[in-house]
Structure 1
């Protein structure tokens, strides 16, 4: 068996784990449903799959298609836990990340943002789905930890309109919050934007930020490169203000056409974006305009 084949099977195991998490199944519960041992499922999630029949049974139990588990064509991901887990897996040991997320790539947000984000996500979902929030936050924090440990190159494109909206509305999981809490959340949003200004004026090694002044796509996407391979993730899920972790279908693909089209969007926005001190001056003007309303 060649090394490239090993990598493919490892990726199948990673997808299996992500979709299991998305179905809120423990390894023991899924193994029991499949009539196999916990050890056998563990090996499958490590990519040690010897029979297509087992993979077919797993796909049926997780309610995903066999091509999705195999990574053939487009991988559709129907819930936020599975999607963010797949992002975490794809980013692991990567060399470069190019992202378009609002208000900025989660990977370079502050620890204060993490604390308020968990509160905001709790607000955004019914009480009986709080386990989803805990699962998502665990995955997000692990993503950030691995990013800070490995420090791949990161290019993040942000929208000045999104920053203005972020400061004007603050971090809210739902409407109707008490006025004092809304004011507090708006102050936290402004502090996060000030952190962006700091990164623009004194860039961290390997981090590039562009501030776009033209309209940007409504869906977030990220292109991750590792070992000559590029992977595109397109997300319907949203963190921060008015988050959505409940409804949507994300997709993941390495199809050259999809990569090329999204890379063209990223390059166009990057070329026309403000950068460095010019971008910092522009964002500070936005803070003066929207941060004290």
Structure 2
């Protein structure tokens, strides 16, 4: 079994991140802990912190001590909450390595969001606003802007089976749509795949794509790194899902063992997937075979 090692600086960064997310003021937390605000800031900078203080901090922030130490697991049954958390993490990230959607949301076009909002409005009108949650696309709408501002390194591996489903049913496959709207959603899907083809061909700095052949099954997950801090998200939710028609449990963890094993899996998958001209040729074939006319 891999030993769990946590540097004080990492604990401090975890503490600051959870404090900011909680919305509680530093002086409020310090007062409830019985320490000075300066002491709390020192903890966040990596000063030695006692285990009983970790326990009390975790209780205040409504998380487990292991999660505060970066070795716990956060679970999300709601796609909106999961994408809100991912958006928060990506606001301070340097590297992303992922295999999940048939697209990379950060470089999708505004048409991707627009068709989902249109589908949600139609669903809301049909089923009633009281029973329809906000579309997950709104929870992650900042991700594209964050990417444009920060330009983290992204390696996105696109499963061929997901691409076929995406082209066949269009953006927002889980939304109920009229025939005209479904055709429009399929046209937007073709547009997004063609955009990826253009990006692969132009080789933009820090952005790489590959296609995972359909004979390879893999878990949808996202590896994220900032300096020495790393986390992995195992995610059943597609970025174009309907909250009302989606069920699953996503989880995010910084456990060193989980991070290391998933990172190794993703790196191996990258080596065996189609890249460059091979990926372009496969995507063009899929568009011809399954894309809307």
Q: State the partner residue of 1:204.
A: 204
Q: State the partner residue of 1:155.
A: 155
Contact 1:120 1:240 in 2 (8 A): no
SS of 1:94's equivalent in the other structure is coil
Q: 1:112-131 residue pairs with structure 2 within 5 A?
A: 112-121=111-120, 127-130=129-132
Structure 2 residue 146 is the aligned partner of structure 1 residue 146: yes
Per-residue deviation at 1:276?
1.5
The range that moved more, 90-99 or 237-246, is 237-246
Per-residue deviation at 1:69?
5.8
Per-residue deviation at 1:208?
0.5
With over 3 angstroms needed to count, the CA separation of the structure-2 counterparts of 1:215 and 1:260, relative to structure 1, is farther
Structure 2 residues without counterparts, runs of 5 or longer: 1-7, 34-54
The range that moved more, 233-242 or 103-112, is 233-242
Q: Partners of 2:114 and 2:203 in 1: how far apart?
A: 24
Q: Partners of 1:281 and 1:263 in 2: how far apart?
A: 27
Q: Partners of 2:190 and 2:157 in 1: how far apart?
A: 18
SS of 2:247's equivalent in the other structure is coil
Q: 1:1-293 residue pairs with structure 2 within 5 A?
A: 6-16=12-22, 41-43=24-26, 50-51=32-33, 56=59, 59=62, 67-68=66-67, 71-121=70-120, 127-130=129-132, 132-133=134-135, 136-172=136-172, 174=174, 177-217=177-217, 219-240=219-240, 246-292=246-292
The alignment yields a C-alpha RMSD, in angstroms, of 3.1
With over 3 angstroms needed to count, the CA separation of the structure-2 counterparts of 1:124 and 1:102, relative to structure 1, is farther
Q: TM-score, normalised by structure 2?
A: 0.76
With over 3 angstroms needed to count, the CA separation of the structure-2 counterparts of 1:195 and 1:180, relative to structure 1, is same
Q: Partners of 2:138 and 2:105 in 1: how far apart?
A: 13
Structure 1 residues without counterparts, runs of 5 or longer: 18-40
Q: Partners of 2:87 and 2:175 in 1: how far apart?
A: 30
The range that moved more, 68-77 or 247-256, is 68-77
SS of 1:240's equivalent in the other structure is coil
Per-residue deviation at 1:131?
5.1
With over 3 angstroms needed to count, the CA separation of the structure-2 counterparts of 1:9 and 1:241, relative to structure 1, is closer
Q: Partners of 2:266 and 2:77 in 1: how far apart?
A: 25
Give per-residue Cα distances to partners, 1:204-225, cap 9 Å, x unaligned: 2110001111445564210011
Per-residue deviation at 1:72?
4.2
Contact 2:123 2:175 in 1 (8 A): no
Q: Partners of 2:210 and 2:31 in 1: how far apart?
A: 43
Q: Partners of 1:271 and 1:243 in 2: how far apart?
A: 34
Q: Partners of 2:31 and 2:191 in 1: how far apart?
A: 48
Contact 2:102 2:166 in 1 (8 A): yes
SS of 1:132's equivalent in the other structure is coil
Per-residue deviation at 1:145?
0.9
Q: Partners of 1:5 and 1:263 in 2: how far apart?
A: 21
SS of 2:134's equivalent in the other structure is helix
Q: Partners of 1:241 and 1:116 in 2: how far apart?
A: 12
Q: TM-score, normalised by structure 1?
A: 0.76
